[in-house]
Every structure is written in structure tokens, then in C-alpha cells.
């Protein structure tokens, strides 16, 4: 958008000047505008299409509270008056600009490809608030796949400590885009996705909330979470998210018509962030792609994170694991060892307590899992419910809920680790914090040290229930600080972290690659909590996975939970639909979540889980449409094998997949796992066919997926 | 009060029964009443005087919140409805009672005497809430010096996790007593005392607040703090406080006419406590004495605490110390090393920063203090401002404000400790947390380990400014949990703790004798912040010291701060008034707070500070009236020496002190430090006389104190 065009537009404040920043390929153009009132704004075009109309940049800051001790109004004590909030959205002048370009290629420790290109043009606009000399810079980076910008507050200026009332950033969508969204929430990300226009969000909001999120903190029927995937009427794929969320509150988006406004997670007092100069905000990202497949290939969020901060990464590695987990989730077993209503860790004597007989993390059961995992080429076994305290945990307001070091009497931590190690398996530690976060931090050093002692090198942590102290939220600055603390402390112990219920990832795994996984979305467990509609795994790679890998815990082979353990929920996926996820849901941490018994009945299908790689040198996004379908091919980082996966929603879909990604002049043994023609995820989910053939890059595979189904193919180089 | 009497009293609910509990000497009688409505109440008589009329016992509990996810009202999202609060003050039946008696003598690790008698009769009333079967016991202990009671919630009952909306305990004073009080406040105890009737509190409230407490959180003009000293029209001294405040919110008292009601410190959401059965509350204490001197001799609060929890106490010892401190408080020096406006600990380079030239904790100055302290028989030297981060701390909302391990460039921690140890001095560590409590806990283990490495065995900790996360209060359950955590973690490192700005003590030093001091009241520093009215040190032993020793930091010899360093404040005490405090303000931790230069001008008077003991085998409260005067004699625990001290308010007072506490048949060299006749604390505070004589138990000393003055006498056995 040119300055002339802008000035002609009535709905936009009159600008006194503008600066353009284009992407290296020239396709994306960001225009920075300073309005006559000194308000910084920006717009974004892709070729001749307006993606974002001019939108506000800046903050509403808390007015300084004068610490005047007391205020009496008559004889009544009142809180000291707040000085009115301070608008940091206008009154600025430009005191300088800087431009730069960068084109570098970096190698992730693990990832969807072995090297990533980071190529952008940069503009730094230095602003001075005329009235008081306070300084705020805005740094823009324009990539071929979109725009990133952040606020920077330089050192040595009148602004030192400040409190954010709200970030005023607007994403002023040019059109009433189609959006795939989940409700904004300060404490849960575990929702199924809605698909509406931006203006249609409020009308559909209620329908897309759910009853599972006990600590749900919704606040507006027009507020949604990022990463928000959209599609413009022109067919552009536009995604809004953030990158490098460090010491700041997580951003939500409030839809005001087709305009989206930032909405940060508040603290217990309603404030949005407490900052000190010099500091920077997370990057606000606007990815733009001409196709869904291009959007999936974007690494903009990772590129906007800092390079790896760890000197030694030799101890970090992808993990394929099983878990003593699904049987508890489904209800066939328990985490807790006794049925005592109240357990005080310092006083309760587990050695004389009556076991409830349903404790899954017992020696015999764990050995059974170790045997199966070891026999099938797995690296690791997660065991939940191994430590005392599970009798009462989330939402009990209980501070000292776990100690993270004391096993239940029937879990011999020494013997089980010894047994596992003798078979080439590592146990994966589990630290459910029950959101009693201070308690976790108090025990963290000892807990990590215990892991080192017994040879655990990965921990699944959890944050179920209301944050203690009550009033803080899962996605506020206070907690975001904690999650990163847990990761950096873990790194000192050479421990990899997979944090559940933590804030959605924003690419921090580039900087801290020991953060090998997060949940931060509705995962497989909800198949046992009422079921998940097909299509969910076809939207997650656009949204949740945009910021980093998810521990989705795929691989459920027994969909009929009722028959197994009386659970009325049904797993809405075919076996092949589950196999596909190991390719389509990228993660360096992949679980085979079902039980040895269930896998034993389908060992031919299970072979794919044994074979599939978990680290990649190359990824190809062949067919994709959000929430509809995905077909993705990836090349193993450690061999010449390729793997192909496809998932679909409720529709039967057939794709003709050209194998032109294979190496020229080479033959491959293809093993094709596909839904039987009469399969479907509800009535006949276990019907599949396995075919083998020799193929090369000239070949095509015709692959059909039934409703809730999928396919998986391994290509072994001959 | 008999049942018959009670029934005749119109203002009291009709009782269906009552149970009496008397003290071993029969003087105090508690009467437990269950009203017709099933409401537990209690009254207290001393001989034929009613001290407390029947007062309510019990709680208002939070109604359970049904975690129903979301509530829509129309299309608006609302918070889940609170179930109405649950009155736990009536509807009870008595399901059992137990009685017991105890008479034991225990020896404190340090204290005002070498052994303490704990002698009481006990009544346990077991209550069952008829409607729902929930259980609450109330345990009463009746001592010769008063009453203690607490609530106990037994195990194995319908009540498991619960949230307190308010504790409803009433102290229904029979008369409109005179009370010495400071304003109720969630975040400060640093007030001068008011003296009014109970009904006169609101009218005087405003006058007795002050402007120094930047984070003051007052909430009612009729609310006061404990320990609350009162005097009845009949001349009884009645004191209300609490004992063993563990994992619970600190209690304030709201005056409703002459009735006092408990008011607990809230959390960020306004709730007062989060408990889990089995559990007990702190003891509520009502001390009753026929004289002020008797009140001072009461050990009821200590007796209601648990015995020492530490197996090895050999490393705990009283400490007489000096400090690099008063010069910063008065304004002659600074804690901070540079004048940088913003310091981020990870990034700021102190080695190249410009020092402000006013940093007191520098090598030369610390050595000067070490030399003086070592030359005058001290044990230790506190150094504040030794560690990086002081450029910006309290009320900056700054999470990572200190690391507690990195010295400023001009503080050579290794060399200074070596130098100190070579002279028989230990340095006292200082941990100002800036109320960024999570940050302190994150660094605590490393900070204590650093202390062990360099030979520090005591730490002064501080909690200045708003608690982070904002919304929690200094005296709420969350913080009370922290203070005790800091003490128990310190014990593992054989470290003694002196916590400033922490919650007022409630006798926990019996259980954790490494808690050798607290501030928790207005201390000497306020002499540099506007001055303290004489009389303050004559009320503190009745109130603040009732729960444990105070690090009052006495010993200021230069009252004219203006001349010294331009501070307009004046120290309102004579030199002899300061000397007296080493006897009258009991603490195992005694500071000589002034500077070597100031002491050097009065070395004859300073001799008393050198000589005075800091641990006692016996204490005699000879004359006392709250806020007016105190005359106390104490016998050194480690020799045959006695020490005598007296302080007065604005009145000149003369006491004829019989020396009958001295050992029979023995002569003592008495060294008498007394105000000169023309001395006074404002105009002539440094005028004193020192006399020596040989005395025995038949003798009397006639001792006069000028306004704001005092006297001190040492008796060395010949």
C-alpha cells in the first residue's frame, strides 16, 4: 500500500509518513505509518492483495502508583489512587530508522529438516514519545513467508519499570477471513477447533467450548487463541501467532469484526505484564502463504527465536516411547495407590496403607511394558503414578501435593531402572505438579538429581488444575517464567522436558532444544474423555505445531474403550489413521500410547510404529487443507528411508501421490498401511490392509482414506 | 460464669449446656457453651472477674465451587457461581469430650530463663455438624497465666479440603478495656502504638497510621494487630495473640464495640486460608495477669508451641553483633554500588560500571568495622549491600532482583571472611529478597551453600516492598509458609535466621530455635525516618516480644543525625536509654547498631554493651506499665553476673530498686550507667554518669530516668 493510497483511505488516520519493508522475494510488503497524531501503525500486503489494513501498534501502560501509604476518604481507608493509564499508542516521533538483511542457514538439533534458511529484510523504527522522551523501538522482519515484529524498549531512557495494562497491537485483517480457532482461555488450550469467518466467531463461540476444562477461564465470546490459521477470500493462508514468548504474558486475539486485537493474559490483579528496560516483547508473527502446503513449510516462528543457547547438545535426542499411561486415562487403572481421602506426605504411612489394587505403576506391570517396549525397538517408557501423593491433587488448593522423589511402595525405582537399562530402555520421569508451582520449584533440584542418579534423561511434567497461588494463570508472565525456568534448570542436569498443560510453544525449542515436547492442545487423551471429531489432527499442524512439537500420544489400536474397560468414550480414528500421525504430527518425541495387549493383536500394523523415523532431514507437504486432510512425506535423518502419512476428516478421500520425492535411480520397498474399503472410524476402525511393493520416483500411489482414517507408507531404500 | 448465670443474661444465646475448665491454680476459668442452635461459644473469668463474655467459635467456610467449566448468562461468560458460604458456627452437637492435665518443665536453647514450666489443664470438645457429619474439635488449655485454644479438624470425615472465608472467633471483652494497639495491616507492622479504649479505636485510628509504610494495606479503621495488650477497669492485664502460626493466615482483630473479632489476612482472591484435614489452626491466646510484671513473665505463647524439632542444636548460639548498616539507614552511605537506573543481573557489567563512591559495604570500611568489633568482644558483623542488585529493588515488580551470591566488585567475600575469622568475628549474611519470594527460593540452596563455604552461620533476611506475585500479602498463608520454609531449609545448613518484615512471631522459635530474631515491628531504623516517641520500647515487650525476640538494633549513641549526615530526623533516646534496651528488650541477637566512630567518643558507656550478657538463666520483671516504663533484672546464663535495665517514656521517673534478686551472702561490683540530671532525649541525650559501688542483696538503688532516658547496671559477682 503506497502512501498515496493510504491517504485516500477514509477509515485510516491521516499519516505523516510511511516506510516500506519488503520480503527478499518482494512478495510481501509491510508498510510502517506514523499518523498525524504520532501513532505508529503498520499494514501488510502480499503481491497486490492487502492482507492487513493499517493496524495500531503500541501499549496502554499502567499509570504510576504513587506510594503514598494511605488514602483516607472521609474516615474510610481507600487504596491509593491509580494514576490514569498511559496511552503509549500515539504522540511519538521517529528519531531514527535502521535497515538490515540477513540470509543464514542453521541446523536444528532435531526437526522436520536438517537445515533451515532464515532469510529476511529488517527495519528498526526508533520512536520517541514527544511529551516525556520515553523510547520505544519497533523491529520488523519481512520474510518470504510472512512478517514478524516486536517492540523493543531501549536502555538509558525515562521508561525503566513499567506495567502493561494492555498491548494494543492490532491485526487489521483486510477481509472477513475464514478462521480455524479455539476459544481464548487463560488456563486451557484443550479444545476442538471451530471454523467460521472472523465476524462469525461470537455466534459459534458457545458451541465450541467444552465441559472438560475444569479450570477454564474464558473471558469473552470473541476471543481466540493463537496460532490462528486463517484463509482469505483470495485463497491466501494467513497465520497469526507469536515467537519467543519469554518473560511476558501469552497473547490472545479478540475479534472486533474482521479486526483482531491483542489481549494478553492477566496476572491476579488484572495487569498484563511487568517489564524493565532494556527489554523486548515476543515477536508477533503474520505468516502468509499462497497454499496450505506452503504454510506448513514455513519456519518463520523458529527463525524468530534466538539460536541454541546450550553449548553441549550431545545429550539431546529424539525419543520413541511407550507409557504406563493410557490404561489410567481410559480408566482401566489408577495413578493413586490407596483410596485414602486425605494424604499428608509428611505423615501418611504408605507402607501400612491399604492398596486399592488398581495402581498401574506397579513393578509387575512396569516390567511387562519394559519387556514389550524393549522387544519392539523403543527407546523409553513413561511411567505415571509412580510417586506418592496422587490420592488428591489438582484443584485441592494443596501446596505440598507431591515431593517428586518418593516412589509408591510397589514401584521399586532402583530395580525397575536397572531392569529397563539392561534391556536398552530408559524410563521417562513424570512430574505432575498439580499446578502447585512453588512446591515444584522447591523440589526441582532434588527431583532432577534423582533422575540423574537413576538414569532418567527425560521428564514429562504436568500442570493440571488451578495455578497456586490462585489468581495466577497458566499463560501469564508469572507462569511463562516458570516453564522456561524448568527447562533451563533441566538443561543443567542434561534432562529433556515434555511439559503438558504449559503455555503453547512459540519456537523456544530452537533456543532450548531440550524442550522436546509440549501438550498445549487437545491430545489423544480426549478420545477417552468423550472422543475427538476427525479432522482435529488435520488442523493441529497449522496451529498448535506452528510453535513447536506436540506430545500428541498417538497409536491407539483399540477404539472400543467400553469393551476394554467400561469407558463410554470411543476413539474416533482407524488404526491407519493412527499410524499416519507418526508422519503428519511432527515431533521428536513420539509415543505408542496403547497397551502391549492391544498392540499384540495387530503386530503387522504395529510394524509401522517400529519402523517409522522420529527425526528428519527433509519434509514434503504434498496435500493439505486445514481441518480437512494432510498428506506429508518425510525423509529419515539417519537413513535413506522415506515415510508418508495421510489423514482425513469425516470425508472419504483419495489421493494420487507421486513419489517424486524419492531419490532418483533408486528402488524402494514400499510397505503400505491403508484403511480397508469398509473401514470407518466409528463402526469398523480396525479394518486395514498392508501391501508391499517395490517403487521408484516415477511411481504414483493411489491411496484412499475412510472417514476418520488415514494411511501410512514406509519406503525402505533397496 | 455458671450455666445459671449465663442463662440469665439476655444478650447471650440460650445455652443447652456448658463445660468448665479451670487453670491449675483455679484462678482462670474457661466455660465452653453449646447454644440451643448448636453454636460453640466460650467465656473466660479470672477469679470473680469476667474477662471475656461468651464469644462465638467457628468459621465461615467457602461453599464448594462446582467445577462446571463454564457458565453462560445469555451470551455472556460468567464465572461459575459460588455456592453460598457455609456457616461453621452452629448446627453442632457434642460427640465427646476429653480432659487432660500436663505439668512439665522444658529448657529452651536460649531465652529469658534456663527452664520454663508448662502447666495446664486441657479440654477437648469434639463437635459434629449435625446436617452433614463434618467434624471440628476445639482444644482448650487453661494455664495460670491464661487460656489457649485452637480448632482441630480430624481425619477420616466428610470435610477434607476446605477454604476459609473468615475465622469467626470472637474475643468478647467484658469491659471497654484500655488497649495498646497498632493499626491492622496486611503488609506492615511498623507503627507506633496508640493507647485508647476498645471503643475508642476508630476515632484515633487515622492519627496512628503513618506515611513510611509504602506498601501499607490497611482495610478498616477498627482493626488492630496482635499481640494486643489490654488492661481492664479492674486492673487485669489481658493480652490476645496467637501461638504456632503454621500454614495459616495471620490473625488481626476487628473491634466491634468492646468485642474483638478475628480477621485473617486474605490471599489475592480474598480467601483466608486453604486447609486439608487432618489439620489444626494456630492457638488463640488470651493471657491474663494481675500485674504488668506478671504479664511480662508469661510464657504461655512459647508453651503452646511444639517442642524443638531440631535434633542437633549445638550450632545455635546467641549473637552480639555490629553492622555496616546504620550509616546507610541514616543516609551517610548507600547499599548500591552504582547509580545506574536499571540493572539486569545477567547482563550488567559491574566490573566496568562507575561506582557512586558512597557504597558502604566496601573492603576498607568492612575491615574497619571488623577491627572495632573484634577489639570489643563482639561475635559478628552484619554487612548489608554486599551483593549486586541494590540499584533497584523494592516495589519495582522485579522478579530477578538479587542472586544472593554475587558480591559487588569492592566486596572481597573471601578475603573479608578470612580477615574476620582471623580476628574471631563471623560475618552475618544479608538476604534482602525485595519480596520477590520465588526468586529467593530459587536461589536459596545456593545462597545457603555459599554461606557454609565462607563460614557465615547467620542470615538477616528482608521482605521490603510488595510481595510478588502482587496480590499476596506479607501475613497471608502463602507467605507464612515461605518464612517457615526459609527457617527449616536454613536449619539443614546450620544457619540461624533473623527475618525482617516477616510475619510477627508466635513462639515458633521454641520449635525452630535457629529463628533467633525477627523485626516485625517499628525498630530503631525509624529513629532515622522521623524519630520514635519515647515509650515505644516500654510497650514492645508486652506486644511484639510476646511471640519471640526482636532484632530491635539498639545502641545509638549519636542522636544528632543532622550534624552527622544531614538527616533531619533525631534519635529520641538518651545514651543510657539505649543501654537499657540490652536488658529490657530481650533477644538472643543483640546489635550495637551505631558506628565505630560514634562509639569511640563514649567508650566508658560502651563498656556496658561489651559486658552485657545475651542469654539468661533468670529474669525478674520489677516494675512495668505498658508504654510507660520497664525495670527488668536478668541473670547471665553463663556467669553469676546480673544486669538491670530501665526505660521510661516522656516522664522523668525514679525507681528504688531492691537488689534482692542477687545471690545471698555475695557481694557484687555494680557499675551504674544513668542519665545525668540535666539529660533528656531531645536536647541533651549524651549526658550520663557512671558510678561503681559494691552492693549486696540488702541494698537498694535509687535510679532516675529523664524523659526518653533509662539506666543500665551491671552486677559482677565478687
pLDDT score recorded for residue B220: 83
Of B69, B274, B392, the CB nearest to A214: B69
What cell does B103 get?
A: 505439668
Nearest CA to A520 out of A535, A545, A536, A503 is that of: A503
B479: region left, alpha or beta (phi > 0 left; psi from -120 to 50 alpha): alpha
**Selected residues 374-403 of chain A with any CB under 8 Å from a CB in chain B:** 392, 395-399
Residue A531 banded pLDDT, cuts 50, 70, 90: very high
A242 classed as catalytic: no
Q: Which helix (H) or strand (E) holds B648?
A: strand B642-648
Angle at A24 between CA A18 and CA A30, to 5 degrees: 25
User: Using an 8 Å Cβ cutoff, are A650 and A661 in contact?
Assistant: no
Of B76, B274, B438, the CB nearest to A397: B274
How far apart, in Å, are the Cα atoms of B245 and each of B42, B143, B547?
22, 20, 10
Residues 6+ apart with CB under 8 A from B283: B141, B148, B149, B150, B242, B243, B244, B304
What cell does A521 get?
A: 492442545
pLDDT score recorded for residue A7: 38
Cis peptide, bond prior to residue B278, ω within 30 of zero: yes
Task: Tell me if A478 and B470 make a contact (CB, 8 A cut-off).
Answer: no
User: Using an 8 Å Cβ cutoff, are B214 and B395 in contact?
Assistant: yes
Task: Tell me if A209 and B438 make a contact (CB, 8 A cut-off).
Answer: no
What cell does A249 get?
A: 504474558
Among A242, A525, A663, A669, the active-site one is: A525
What cell does B683 get?
A: 536536647
Task: Tell me if B481 and A70 make a contact (CB, 8 A cut-off).
Answer: no
A58: region left, alpha or beta (phi > 0 left; psi from -120 to 50 alpha): left
Of B70, B202, B268, the CB nearest to A469: B268
pLDDT tens-digit profile of A52-73?
999 999 999 998 755 444 555 5
Closest B-chain CA to A247: B399
- pLDDT surpassing 60 at residue A280: yes
Phi, psi of A33 (to 5 degrees): -130, 135
pLDDT score recorded for residue B705: 98
Tell me the nearest-neighbour CA distance from A220 into chain B, angstroms: 7
pLDDT tens-digit profile of A288-341?
999 999 999 999 999 999 999 999 999 999 999 999 999 999 999 999 999 998
Q: Is the CB of residue A348 less than 8 Å away from at least one CB of chain B?
A: no
User: Using an 8 Å Cβ cutoff, are B183 and B191 in contact?
Assistant: yes
Residues in chain B: 718
Cα distance between residue A86 and residue B360, in whole Å: 38
List CB contacts (< 8 A) between A276 and chain B.
342, 344, 392, 396-398
Phi, psi of A32 (to 5 degrees): -90, 135
pLDDT score recorded for residue A2: 35
pLDDT tens-digit profile of A4-21?
333 334 445 666 689 999
Cα distance between residue A135 and residue A120, in whole Å: 25
Tell me the nearest-neighbour CA distance from A341 into chain B, angstroms: 7
Closest B-chain CA to A155: B342
Task: Tell me if A161 and B392 make a contact (CB, 8 A cut-off).
Answer: yes
pLDDT tens-digit profile of A341-363?
889 999 999 999 999 999 999 99
Task: Tell me if B161 and A392 make a contact (CB, 8 A cut-off).
Answer: yes
Q: Which helix (H) or strand (E) holds A52?
A: strand A49-56
Task: Tell me if A278 and B75 make a contact (CB, 8 A cut-off).
Answer: no
Task: Count Cβ neighbours within 10 Å for each residue of A251-289 and write b for 16 or more, e otherwise.
Answer: bbbbbeebbbbbbbbbbbeebbbbbbbbbbbbbbbbbbb
Q: Is the CB of residue B717 less than 8 Å away from at least one CB of chain A?
A: no
Nearest CA to B102 out of B244, B304, B253, B290 is that of: B304
**Interface with chain B: mutation pick from A77, A254, A398, A467, highest number of B CBs within 10 Å:** A77
User: Using an 8 Å Cβ cutoff, are A693 and A672 in contact?
Assistant: yes
User: Using an 8 Å Cβ cutoff, are B291 and B621 in contact?
Assistant: no
What cell does A632 get?
A: 506429508
Cα distance between residue A678 and residue A452, in whole Å: 50
A261 in helix, strand or coil? strand
**What's the whole-number average pLDDT of chain A?**
94
CA dihedral B49, B55, B58, B63 (to 10 degrees): -170
Q: Is the CB of residue A424 less than 8 Å away from at least one CB of chain B?
A: no
**For residues A366-378, average pLDDT:** 98
Strands B616-625 and A251-256: unpaired
Task: Tell me if A276 and B70 make a contact (CB, 8 A cut-off).
Answer: no
Nearest CA to B595 out of B556, B554, B552, B568 is that of: B556
Closest A-chain CA to B479: A469
Which residue numbers in chain B have pLDDT < 70?
1-16, 65-82, 210-217
Task: Tell me if A471 and B396 make a contact (CB, 8 A cut-off).
Answer: no
pLDDT score recorded for residue B208: 79
Task: Tell me if A67 and B395 make a contact (CB, 8 A cut-off).
Answer: yes
User: Using an 8 Å Cβ cutoff, are B475 and B266 in contact?
Assistant: no
pTM higher than 0.90, yes or no?
Answer: yes
pLDDT score recorded for residue B206: 82
Of A206, A218, A481, the CB nearest to B399: A481
Closest A-chain CA to B216: A69
Cα distance between residue B272 and residue B267, in whole Å: 6
The one-character DSSP state at A210 is -
Considering only A203-207, A521-525, B381-385, which range has the smallest mean pLDDT? A203-207
- pLDDT surpassing 80 at residue A143: yes
Task: Tell me if A469 and B471 make a contact (CB, 8 A cut-off).
Answer: yes
How far apart, in Å, are the Cα atoms of B441 and each of A443, A445, B30, B473, B505?
11, 12, 43, 17, 21
pLDDT tens-digit profile of A429-485?
999 999 999 999 999 999 999 999 999 999 999 999 889 998 999 999 999 999 999
Cα distance between residue B23 and residue B28, in whole Å: 5
In angstroms, how far is CA A474 from the centroid of its own chain? 14
**Selected residues 178-237 of chain B with any CB under 8 Å from a CB in chain A:** 202, 205-206, 209-216, 218-221
Nearest CA to B292 out of B178, B127, B442 is that of: B178
Cα distance between residue B483 and residue B657, in whole Å: 41
Report the complex ipTM: 0.93
Other beta carbons less than 10 A from residue A18's beta carbon = 20
What cell does A547 get?
A: 510453535
B615 in helix, strand or coil? coil
Q: Is the CB of residue A606 less than 8 Å away from at least one CB of chain B?
A: no
Amino acid at each position: 500500500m503506497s502512501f498515496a493510497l493510504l491517504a485516500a483511505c477514509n477509515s485510516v488516520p491521516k499519516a505523516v509518513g510511511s516506510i516500506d519493508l519488503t520480503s527478499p522475494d518482494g512478495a510481501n510488503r509491510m508498510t510502517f505509518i506514523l499518523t498525524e497524531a504520532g501513532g505508529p501503525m503498520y499494514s501488510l500486503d502480499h503481491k497486490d492483495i492487502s492482507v492487513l489494513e493499517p493496524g495500531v501498534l503500541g501499549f496502554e501502560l499502567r499509570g504510576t502508583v504513587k506510594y503514598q501509604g494511605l488514602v483516607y476518604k472521609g474516615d474510610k481507608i481507600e487504596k491509593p489512587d491509580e494514576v490514569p493509564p498511559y496511552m503509549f499508542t500515539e504522540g511519538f516521533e521517529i528519531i531514527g530508522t535502521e535497515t538490515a538483511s540477513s540470509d543464514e542457514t542453521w541446523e536444528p538439533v532435531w526437526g522436520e529438516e536438517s537445515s533451515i534458511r532464515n532469510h529476511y529484510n529488517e527495519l528498526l523504527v526508533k520512536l520517541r514519545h514527544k511529551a516525556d522522551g520515553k523510547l520505544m523501538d519497533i523491529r520488523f522482519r519481512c520474510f518470504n513467508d510472512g512478517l514478524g515484529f516486536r517492540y523493543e524498549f531501549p536502555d538509558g531512557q525515562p521508561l525503566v519499570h513499567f506495567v502493561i495494562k494492555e498491548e494494543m497491537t492490532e491485526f487489521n485483517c483486510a477481509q472477513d477471513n475464514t478462521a480455524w480457532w479455539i476459544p481464548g482461555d487463560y488456563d486451557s488450550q484443550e479444545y476442538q477447533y471451530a471454523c467460521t469467518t472472523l465476524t462469525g466467531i461470537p455466534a459459534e463461540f458457545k458451541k465450541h467450548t467444552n465441559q472438560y476444562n475444569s479450570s477454564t477461564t474464558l473471558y469473552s465470546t470473541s476471543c481466540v487463541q493463537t496460532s490462528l490459521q486463517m484463509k482469505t477470500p483470495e485463497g491466501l493462508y494467513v497465520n497469526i501467532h507469536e515467537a519467543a514468548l519469554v518473560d511476558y504474558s501469552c497473547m490472545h486475539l479478540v475479534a472486533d469484526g474482521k479486526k483482531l486485537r491483542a489481549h494478553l493474559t492477566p496476572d491476579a490483579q488484572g495487569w498484563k505484564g511487568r517489564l524493565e528496560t532494556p527489554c523486548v516483547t515476543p515477536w508477533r508473527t503474520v505468516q502468509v502463504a499462497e497454499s496450505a502446503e506452503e504454510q506448513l513449510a514455513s519456519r518463520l516462528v523458529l527463525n524468530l527465536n534466538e539460536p541454541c543457547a546450550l553449548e553441549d547438545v550431545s545429550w539431546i535426542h529424539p525419543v520413541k516411547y511407550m507409557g504406563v499411561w493410557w490404561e489410567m486415562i481410559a480408566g482401566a487403572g489408577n495413578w493413586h495407590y490407596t483410596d485414602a481421602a486425605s494424604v499428608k506426605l509428611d505423615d501418611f504411612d504408605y507402607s501400612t496403607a491399604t492398596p486399592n489394587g488398581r495402581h498401574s505403576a506397579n513393578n509387575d506391570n512396569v516390567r511387562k511394558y519394559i519387556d514389550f517396549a524393549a522387544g519392539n525397538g523403543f527407546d523409553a517408557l513413561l511411567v505415571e503414578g509412580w510417586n506418592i501423593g496422587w490420592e488428591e491433587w489438582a484443584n485441592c488448593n494443596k501446596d505440598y501435593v507431591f515431593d517428586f522423589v518418593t516412589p509408591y511402595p510397589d514401584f521399586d525405582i532402583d530395580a525397575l531402572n536397572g531392569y529397563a537399562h539392561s534391556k536398552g530402555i530408559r524410563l521417562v520421569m513424570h512430574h505432575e505438579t498439580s499446578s502447585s508451582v512453588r512446591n515444584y520449584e522447591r523440589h526441582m533440584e532434588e527431583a532432577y538429581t534423582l533422575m540423574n542418579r537413576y538414569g532418567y534423561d527425560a521428564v514429562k511434567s504436568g500442570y493440571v488444575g488451578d495455578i497456586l497461588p490462585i489468581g495466577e494463570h497458566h499463560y501469564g508472565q508469572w507462569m511463562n517464567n516458570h516453564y522456561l525456568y524448568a527447562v533451563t534448570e533441566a538443561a543443567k542436569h542434561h534432562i529433556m522436558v515434555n511439559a503438558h498443560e504449559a503455555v503453547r510453544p512459540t519456537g523456544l525449542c530452537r533456543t532450548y532444544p531440550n524442550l522436546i515436547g509440549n501438550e498445549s492442545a487437545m491430545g489423544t487423551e480426549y478420545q477417552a474423555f468423550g472422543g475427538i471429531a476427525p479432522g482435529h489432527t488435520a488442523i493441529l499442524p497449522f496451529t498448535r505445531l506452528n510453535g513447536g512439537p506436540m506430545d500428541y500420544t498417538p497409536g491407539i489400536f483399540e477404539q472400543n474403550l467400553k469393551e476394554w474397560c467400561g469407558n463410554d468414550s470411543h476413539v474416533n480414528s482407524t488404526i491407519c489413521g493412527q499410524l499416519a500421525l507418526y508422519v503428519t504430527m511432527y515431533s521428536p518425541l513420539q509415543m505408542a500410547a496403547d497397551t502391549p495387549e492391544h498392540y499384540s493383536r495387530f503386530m503387522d500394523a504395529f510394524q509401522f510404529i517400529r519402523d517409522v523415523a522420529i527425526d528428519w532431514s527433509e519434509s514434503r507437504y504434498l496435500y493439505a487443507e486445514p481441518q480437512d486432510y494432510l498428506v506429508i512425506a518425510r525423509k529419515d535423518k539417519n537413513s535413506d528411508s522415506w515415510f508418508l502419512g495421510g489423514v482425513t476428516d469425516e470425508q472419504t478421500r483419495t489421493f494420487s501421490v507421486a513419489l517424486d520425492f524419492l531419490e532418483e535411480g533408486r528402488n524402494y520397498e514400499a510397505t503400505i498401511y491403508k484403511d480397508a474399503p469398509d473401514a470407518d472410524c466409528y463402526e469398523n476402525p480396525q479394518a486395514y490392509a498392508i501391501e508391499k511393493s517395490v517403487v521408484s520416483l516415477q511411481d504414483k500411489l493411489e491411496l484412499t482414506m475412510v472417514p476418520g482414517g488415514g494411511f501410512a507408507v514406509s519406503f525402505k531404500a533397496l
